[in-house]
Structure 1
Amino acid sequence: MTASEQPMIHWIEEDQPRSARWRSENGNPAPKRVVIADDRMTADSAYRLACEGTGMLWRGDFQNARQLLQALARRAEPKADKRGKPRKQPVSPTDAFNLHRQAQSQRARTLGMLLLPFDADYSIPLRRAPDVQLACNEAYGAPAEPFVASLRELLGLIGAHEWRKKGVEIAALGARIHPHYGVYSPVRGEYIGLVEAAPLPSTKLAFDIGTGTGVLAALLAKRGVERIVATDMDPRALRCARENLVRLELDGQVTLLQADLFPEGRAPLVICNPPWIPARPSSPIEHAVYDPESRMLRGFLGGLAQHLEPGGEGWLILSDLAEHLGLRSRAELLAAIEAAGLKVLGKTDIRPQHPKASDEADPLHAARAAELTSLWRLGAA
């Protein structure tokens, strides 16, 4: 949605009706009611308003707004019983997942009610406000008009800007990949090691489906594949991949193409790392994690045989977390592979090393502790 397509929000200030454009890259709806808030507002009052769905347009000190948001976050944490255990005890991994997502969604709505004004040049007209113009330019594009956005979204923009500036170290490349706002960051890099170690069926040509930051296209180029065609539907991802490939001086080997899954033609190697969880995204940014009804996975499997050269391989990178959550069975995956006219040539696994895998307080700990990430080598049956 472009800035001009975003809705307007309205409020009363100094007894006068006011309005401004609402902006949310997360796709959060505009609050229907907005009141003015400043340093005099208590955390309890703010939390009550936020739970009611009332937006609070901040006119006080910016750093005080950040402290208030932290106080709201503490109040939004799940409540425990007297023994310190969560009151809701899910009866299955699927229930745990659904309750976790519901809690995340409710928390996001509540914390998104603390709002900030932005001038047309992305400056924030508040005391002690930081310079966020570069972060906003990276996420929103060229400025156009004043608007209102949530403080929580702004902090996400700032965090994305820092990740983009710092980058993510990729050992297999001996370099950093710099993710853009809204493009999935390869912070969980275990799957990159699988791609680095798998024997290449050919070094002539490869297709990288859903390239994202371009990390796998870069790795294939680094491994000596002469030509890679990397596709993605998201213009942001394509810009991000292009910037990374130019920085790595690998852009001469990689052609970037906006396409829904496959480019035209066939290749001896086709690689895809689809979203791993078959669930509905609650915001545009979650499309890299959640794949409703396994659409991208099924689309890749369904079209793979028609895009493989004789004797070619399709590399599917997939976590089995969905299986441990009861969202997709191994039998369903194998049936989809068979129905697509494919056979399994081999599979290599790796256990994730991210902190949540060992965090017993995580609501999904049991599933995460059992998770494996796999590279499935597929061929035409």
Structure 2
Amino acid sequence: MVSTIHWTTGDTHRSARWHSENATSLPRRTAVADDRTKAADAYRQACEGTALLWQGDFHNARQLLQAMGRRVDRKTPGSGTSLSESFHLHRRGSAHRARVLGKLLVLLDDDYTLALRRAPEVRQACLDAYGPSKGPTAVSLRELLGVIGAHQWRSKGVDVPALGTRVHPHYGVFAPVRGEYVDLVAQAPLPPAVLRSPATGTAFDLGTGTGVLAAVLARRGVDRVVATDISPRALVCARENVQRLGLTDRIEVSGPGLFPEGRADLVVCNPPWLPARPTSPIEQGVYDPDSTMLNGFLTGLSAHLRPGGEGWLVLSDLAEHLGLRTRRHLLDAIEAAQLRVVDRIDTRPRHPRAADPDDPLHAARSAEITSLWRLTP
């Protein structure tokens, strides 16, 4: 069912398709905003549920969005009495911020042209993110800025030292900007089953995203890697990167799904690290409701390993520091799946937020450790 927004310009009644990547519901009311609109008025109307369709200068729209954001931030609750409470306050504040700022809309023409003064060229970015246009479409400016930023990342790529080259993330696919988990997979000792016969070794990369870990395993000499994901966008992205890296003869991208058919000498899984509900496509790389992917990997691992094979679970302990999951819970889940821990390789995160004292979750981030758990049946 197509959702349509309606608004009035002068005496003319107009309408357009409504699109939201994070499944935000259709605005109850839509008013027109332009360069004369004050930030206080825009913020008030957005909080009341009114969407504002911008018809002024593009750069002024960005400034208005920033001014609305400052008003949201001033009213956002501070830290809680515990890290768990701080996390939930932070999530609620982020969701409220997204709802309010998501009310500032722009109109994309039927060829994805953004017909605003001083507007950038967005047609290719929108085509990459949304696919072929289905007619004039209203989207939030905040989302569109994310689409533009994702297109720039896709064009430029993300440097991966372990590969000595770049991978190119697509919109809605988690980018490997946190290199420590890639380095763990690049440096961990390969299982004996792979070392005995690297020419026939097989590995599965579950939740491949950009395909970066599959590429690392192939570059390490694993003869055949099957990379899976539940996201159609990720599958397209991984296939493009595999082709760009010249590894199509070594890597098969399969899905959507978690485990492919058959068994492997090595099964690698880097599931989302926090058991919470994502609020946008890109957050699916960080948040895993009820640890669904983590538990799916653990319970299905033994049935997909060849004799002598290993499963590598790459997981941060940030959830433990935030009180979202205990170490005991993880160990019990490993034991319940009749798995044994052969070794654990730890590393500290190197991303800027881990050293930012102004981050509301700094105490947890500064103590975070990312581990590669080597598991066998």
The worse-fitting range, judged by mean Cα deviation, of 69-78 and 206-215 is 69-78
Q: Within 2, Cα distance between the matches of 1:282 and 1:184?
A: 14
Per-residue displacement from partner, 1:270-294 (whole Å, max 9, x unpaired)?
A: 0000000000112233211110000
Which of 35, 45, 48 is equivalent to 1:49? 45
CA shift in 2, pair 1:360/1:260, >3 Å: same
The residue aligned with 2:61 is 65
TM-score (norm. length: structure 2): 0.96
CA shift in 2, pair 1:87/1:318, >3 Å: closer
CA shift in 2, pair 1:90/1:131, >3 Å: same
Which of 211, 214, 220 is equivalent to 1:214? 211
TM-score (norm. length: structure 1): 0.95
Which of 13, 20, 27 is equivalent to 2:23? 27
The residue aligned with 2:251 is 254
Gaps of 5+ in 1: 80-85
**1:282 partnered with 2:271:** no
The residue aligned with 1:304 is 301
Matches within 5 A, 1:201-240: 201=191, 202=194, 203=198, 204-240=201-237
Matches within 5 A, 1:1-381: 5-79=1-75, 88-201=78-191, 202=194, 203=198, 204-380=201-377
Cα displacement (A) at 1:44: 1.2
- Contact 1:6/1:23 (8 A) holds in 2: no
Cα displacement (A) at 1:11: 2.0
Query: SS at the partner of 2:73?
Result: coil
The worse-fitting range, judged by mean Cα deviation, of 166-175 and 17-26 is 17-26
The worse-fitting range, judged by mean Cα deviation, of 153-162 and 68-77 is 68-77
Q: Within 2, Cα distance between the matches of 1:238 and 1:316?
A: 21
The worse-fitting range, judged by mean Cα deviation, of 53-62 and 215-224 is 53-62
**Aligned length in residues:** 370
Q: Within 1, Cα distance between the matches of 2:346 and 2:74?
A: 34
- Contact 1:27/1:284 (8 A) holds in 2: no
Per-residue displacement from partner, 1:85-138 (whole Å, max 9, x unpaired)?
A: x86441211111000000000011111111101110000122221110000000
- Contact 2:77/2:93 (8 A) holds in 1: no
Cα displacement (A) at 1:310: 1.1
Cα displacement (A) at 1:352: 0.2
Q: AA paired with 1:161?
A: H
Gaps of 5+ in 2: none
Cα displacement (A) at 1:180: 0.2
Q: Within 1, Cα distance between the matches of 2:280 and 2:147?
A: 15
Identity of aligned residues (%): 62
Q: AA paired with 2:69?
A: A
Q: Within 1, Cα distance between the matches of 2:257 and 2:237?
A: 17
Q: AA paired with 2:300?
A: G
Q: AA paired with 1:320?
A: D
Q: Within 1, Cα distance between the matches of 2:327 and 2:62?
A: 45
Q: Within 2, Cα distance between the matches of 1:39 and 1:286?
A: 33
Q: Within 1, Cα distance between the matches of 2:26 and 2:335?
A: 45
- Contact 1:132/1:158 (8 A) holds in 2: yes
- Contact 2:154/2:169 (8 A) holds in 1: yes
* Runs of 4 or more consecutive aligned structure 1 residues displaced over 3 Å after TM superposition: 86-89
Query: SS at the partner of 1:66?
Result: helix
Query: SS at the partner of 1:77?
Result: helix
Q: AA paired with 2:119?
A: A
Q: AA paired with 1:33?
A: R
